[in-house]
Each structure stands twice: as C-alpha cells, then as structure tokens.
C-alpha cells in the first residue's frame, strides 16, 4: 500500500527564475530525492533528508501564500509516485501548475493541465543516457523542453536532436540555458542568433538576483 505522504525539502515563495513564466511570483514545492547526478546540478541539497508531508498539509502551506502559480520541482519530483496526486490536487485548487522534470521518468500520467518543463539531458550533463525518449510522444503544446548547454558540443547535440525529433512542432517553448559558470551566456546567445534557432534563450533569474541561495 502506497504512503500518501511525500518527502518535501522546502516550500517557498519567490519569482520564477526560468521557463515561460519567468519573473512571475510563484510558490515552489521542492520534493526530495533524485536518481540522476547531473554535473551541473544546483539542488544537491534536495537529494536527501526532507520532511514527510501529506498532500493536505502541502496544499495548506501553498494556500497561505495566495499564489497564482505553483511549480513542483526537485530533485526529481516524479521519483515519488504520490507526486501525480499532488499535481492533480494543485490543479483542482485552481493554480497554474508547472512541473520541472529531468526527462528520465515517464510523464504520460501527469495531469494534462500541468505545464511539464522537461529536460533533455545533454552529453555535458553526464546523464545523457538517462533520457527517456518515449516521453516526446506524450508532450503537448503547452509543455516545454529544456536543454542546459555546457559547451559548443552540447549546443550542436541539441540542434541535432531538435531537428531529428521536430521538437519545435511539439511544444511552444524550447528553452536553451547556459550551464551556470560553465558557458558564457553571451556565447550561447550569439550561437542561437547565428543559427536563427526557434528557441527561447534563458538565464536563471534567481541566480542573478539572489546569488543562488537555496529557498529563493
């Protein structure tokens, strides 16, 4: 019998730092645990520990902030089965809900109202072999695909996969983000412009504002 609780690292209110709702006040629900170990991960503190909370308790804490937008993140949220029911409950409560997922876990059972922000892991992440390519067939237009680019080789890989899988026709937003401290943002911006790619360049707003302090 499954445990109705989830392990939660933190719940906090901040500005969304990424994706197509960047800059919007958002409540973040960060679940504990992740089966991946990407070289550029900025949330290792969420791999272990955490506090067990019921969905009702999570909803109560989220509601206290009176948000319009809620982002469920990790770690890898979908590593906890009960995450699917949490997403349903958040949607039922009337929030605009997004899910940040690594792309290594099946997404087809995620509530269709959720905007799934799904990574495709590049070779530079060290976890390219964990990409679950079957997920691509389950994407909808309001979902988003994210590539974290570590170097020029990652960029060329991402271009190739975009073309191979016709990703621009699957979702409205493809996100290219330079790996923090690994790739100069200006370099990535210039590559995108030179190739006229149909992607959204993004920087992590929270790192610019709060210097990558957890909980912001």
The answer to whether the beta carbons of residues 137 and 171 sit under 8 Å apart is no
Residue 126 lies in a domain: yes
What pLDDT tens digit does each residue of the chain (216 aa) get? 455 799 999 999 999 999 999 999 999 999 999 978 888 877 777 788 899 999 999 999 999 999 999 999 998 999 999 999 999 999 999 999 999 999 999 999 999 999 999 999 999 999 999 999 999 999 999 999 999 999 999 999 999 999 999 999 999 999 999 998 889 999 999 999 999 999 999 998 877 887 765 555
Residue 197 lies in a domain: yes
The answer to whether the beta carbons of residues 179 and 124 sit under 8 Å apart is yes
* Alpha-carbon distance values, 93 to 3, 68, 70 (Å): 22, 10, 11
Contacts of 137 (CB under 8 A, 6+ apart): none
Q: Tokens representing 186?
A: 């200006």
Residue 52 CA to residue 110 CA, distance in Å, equals: 21
Residue 216 lies in a domain: no
User: Range of 174's domain?
Assistant: 5-210
49: domain CATH number is 3.20.20.70
Structural domain tally of the chain? 1
The answer to whether the beta carbons of residues 97 and 79 sit under 8 Å apart is no
Neighbours of 11 (CB within 10 A): 19
Residue 188 lies in a domain: yes
The answer to whether the beta carbons of residues 192 and 176 sit under 8 Å apart is yes
**Strand spans (E) along 46-158:** 51-54, 69-73, 96-101, 115-119, 144-149
Residue 173 CA to residue 36 CA, distance in Å, equals: 24
Residue 168 lies in a domain: yes
């Amino acid at each position: 019998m499954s445990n109705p609780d989830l392990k939660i690292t933190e719940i906090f209110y901040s500005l969304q730092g990424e994706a197509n709702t960047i800059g919007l006040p958002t409540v973040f629900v960060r679940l504990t645990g992740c089966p991946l170990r990407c070289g550029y991960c900025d949330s290792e503190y969420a791999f272990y520990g955490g506090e067990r909370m019921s969905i009702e308790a999570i909803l109560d804490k989220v509601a206290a902030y009176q948000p319009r937008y809620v982002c469920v993140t990790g770690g890898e949220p979908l590593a906890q089965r009960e995450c699917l029911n949490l997403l349903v409950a958040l949607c039922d409560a009337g929030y605009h809900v997004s899910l940040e997922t690594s792309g290594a876990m099946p997404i087809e059972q995620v509530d269709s109202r959720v905007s799934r922000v799904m990574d495709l892991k590049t070779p530079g992440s060290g976890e390219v072999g964990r990409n679950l390519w079957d997920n691509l067939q389950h994407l909808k237009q309001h979902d988003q695909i994210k590539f974290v680019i570590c170097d020029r080789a990652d960029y060329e890989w991402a271009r190739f996969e975009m073309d191979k899988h016709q990703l621009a026709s699957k979702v409205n937003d493809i996100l290219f983000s330079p790996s923090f401290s690994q790739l100069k943002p200006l370099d990535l911006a210039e590559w995108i412009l030179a190739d006229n790619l149909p992607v959204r360049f993004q920087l992590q707003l929270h790192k610019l504002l709060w210097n990558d302090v957890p909980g912001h």
